Structure 1
């Protein structure tokens, strides 16, 4: 059993031990003499993908440790990764860690830590890795509530002081075509930006069927995408990518306020947990610009992930076919590389050169935008940025184990309570 106290404070011993030394990636590898050892926390599809992207960054990158709360995820991922990268996967049985404390064992084993577990855990894992002087790749979101986000951002600032690389999984920042298009927009190619429309329309996440032997908590961890306390709903899982691009276009300044609507119209079966299946949110900025964010997770509907920027002299379109129309006619025709590979290339290039990358600033703003989007759609209220930053809602649990009491439980019919706009309070 892992209690709230030792889960949140388990980094203290690691901090003391790490404070006297530098990680290998900061010292001996800088001289070109050592391989860079990476450790993976979270061995699902995104974690396995991140490990491949990291190893694509160079033959000197070696996977040496893996962790997950589910044993089959660790064993299955090692087998798949070994088949894909036989010369770079060196994870022996003693470095396959399982359990709620397994993350710390990976941190102790590696120079660079890849964090891609259930989003609920990102702030604590990030804090622990930075405390141990490790470079980090951390998937989005970087907090599901304001207290958690503040933990993550404090770790990000500490990483800056320690000259540690911290790269965010907000991957569109590393797409070359998107970068060039947004640069041109910010240089005035479409005049003043008036509105940004962000769309993330897709189908529901994978569902794992409940098994008779599973506890309720075990079931929720297996289906963590569908429970708000573990995932932050789709504003934090999907829409965050889109509004991150919009925020980038608008200079990464916080909005004054937001309002929106959302609900659960089609995905009513208990298997969909306690989440909404659609969101629409409006962010209002001091410049007069507005960002509109739309997200939907309903089967058998039109799907699309698109961005449209409306300016006083034209429009810009992202992300797959990046182009500008109006006073300036332009379309990106430069190199096309995987943004997932590119973010790891820049991470490891920074470690090798000593020009450490740190994405803390926009990690905070974009994660907070996702939190604010959920707040306004769940409550039905208009909420300012300052009000949102004072939120005391905290998803931290008193105990982390498969036998613990979950924060949400099904009723007699198996249904989970869902937020009700106009009724659910802002907290």
Structure 2
């Protein structure tokens, strides 16, 4: 039996406060006079010890990004559900950064409670890049233990999970701990400068934003002899809604985060969308949609159009197009056209490295970074897209915030049956748009 506790449902007061505070922007205030931040790392120079939770591709890359932030960063602990993934990742990282990877055997933690052991170790910074299902609980426990945190998106695949992340973020703020989100475009210098000009009115009032995240399916790991259904799903967690939150939470969330940023990080009034499975019919693709389109209506009159697709042999695009009354912005090209014509002409920088550099600088300077407000709003936007596309209904933001559906299980273990199973034909059931799906999500 695992010691991983299911997320607790918060009070009505907490839900209301989350709704009211969703309009907040990035918080970077330092909290003085609190001892926790000093215990986590003394300001100034010195080695920063980090621990990695989740040793897949994204987690391994995040560890490298952290090590790239400076020679005085050391990876000293690692955790993954699967010991074979952990060992392979440690070997790769050690080969790549032999002077910075100091993970001994007794600091390799696997299983469902491995993350607790890593958090309890001497690490000062925890990198969370495990299956998205667990992000809120891992964040909560890392902050409770007084650790600085880099947490990959999403910050919840259901509204109760987002509320847990918000509460953890507020606790980090009170303790003077830094919390950096994996919503990486906020750390791209060119995007920052372009967005600043958009926010300052370079294209006038924003009328519409088109967000594309058109890509190919995630890798599938073939089922092996001896694997239970539970192990198969965990090794392919990207393809199962209860572990990943579908592609709106895995991919489109980046695009929605940029749109929200452009609009001042205020929640929309209404959301609706459509989606389905057209080509991802092989059982290996789990129970997710392979295409979704969602529309957000804002009080200002602006609309955001978000499109995501995960199909092979199709056109790919991950651009953002912001249209205003006086011009337009091609965000990832760092370009503005119209009454104002401008383009960022400096060399591009690695935003993935930049996230960690700013995190470690904040720790050393004693000036905490806290991304709680926007990371929770953008996670809720991604969940709103999933609910709207799955249910086929027009939803208000208040509807979304009332959702009590939680993917949390009473307990975790390889002996626990997963909540979704294949049918007689081997396929996993996909959501069917309509009132029944609406009721599943918006039950109280």
TM-score range (shorter-chain normalised) is over 0.9
Residues 245, 315 of structure 1: CA spacing in aligned structure 2 closer, same or farther, 3 A cutoff? same
The residue that corresponds to 2:256 in the other structure is: 243
CA-to-partner distance for each residue in 1:58-114, whole Å, 9 max, x for gaps? 111101000000011110111111111111111000000110000011111210000
Instruction: Give the secondary-structure state (helix, strand or coil) at the position aligned to 1:281.
Output: strand
Count of matched residue pairs? 413
Partner of 1:30: 43
Counterpart in 2 of 1:135? 148
Deviation at 1:35, TM superposition (A): 1.3
Q: Does 1:419 align with 2:421?
A: no
* 1:224 has 2:237 as partner: yes
Aligned pair partner of 1:346 in 330, 333, 358: 358
Aligned position for 2:331: 318
State the SS of the aligned residue for 1:345.
Answer: helix
Q: Cα deviation per residue 1:141-200 (whole Å; 9 max; x = unaligned)?
A: 000001111011100000000000000000000011111111111111111100000000
Q: CA deviation at 1:424?
A: 1.9
Decide whether aligned partners of structure 1 residues 186 and 8 sit closer, same or farther in structure 2, where only a CA change above 3 A counts. closer
**CA offsets, 1:295-329, max 9 Å, x none?**
0001000001000000001100021x210111111
User: How far did residue 31 of structure 1 move?
Assistant: 4.4
Return the alpha-carbon distance in structure 2 between the equivalents of residues 285 and 111 of structure 1.
Answer: 40
1:40-75 per-position Cα deviation (integer Å, ceiling 9, x unaligned): 000011101111111111111101000000011110
- The secondary structure found in structure 1 opposite 2:305 is strand
- Considering only aligned residues, what root-mean-square deviation do their CA atoms show, in Å? 1.4
1:382–1:139 Cα change, 3 Å: same
Is 1:210 the counterpart of 2:223? The answer is yes
Give 1:122-271 correspondences, 5 Å limit.
122-271=135-284
Alpha-carbon distance in structure 2 between the residues aligned to 1:38 and 1:265: 42
Q: Distance in 2 between matches of 1:106 and 1:3?
A: 14
Alignment partner of 1:120 is 2:138: no
Provide the residue aligned with 2:321 in structure 1. 308
Per the normalisation by structure 2, the TM-score is 0.91
Deviation at 1:346, TM superposition (A): 0.5
* Deviation of the 1:3 alpha carbon: 5.8
Give the aligned partner of residue 297 of structure 1.
310
Task: Pick 1 or 2: higher relative contact order, CA cutoff 8 A, min separation 6.
Answer: 2
Which SS does the other structure have where 2:318 is aligned?
strand
Of 366, 372, 385, the match for 1:373: 385
Per-residue CA deviation, residues 240-274 of structure 1 (Å, 9 max, x unaligned), is 00010000000000000100100011111111100
Equivalent residue of 2:43, what SS? Answer: helix
Residues 227 and 273, structure 1, Cα contact 8 Å, conserved in 2:
yes
Match of 1:331 among 336, 343, 354: 343
Q: State how far apart, in whole Å, the 1-side matches of 2:38 and 2:338 are.
A: 51
Corresponding residue number in structure 2 for 1:396: 408
TM-score, normalised relative to structure 1: 0.94
Residue segments in structure 1 that go unaligned for 5+ positions in a row: 10-19
CA drift of 1:207 comes to 0.2
**1:85 paired residue number:** 97
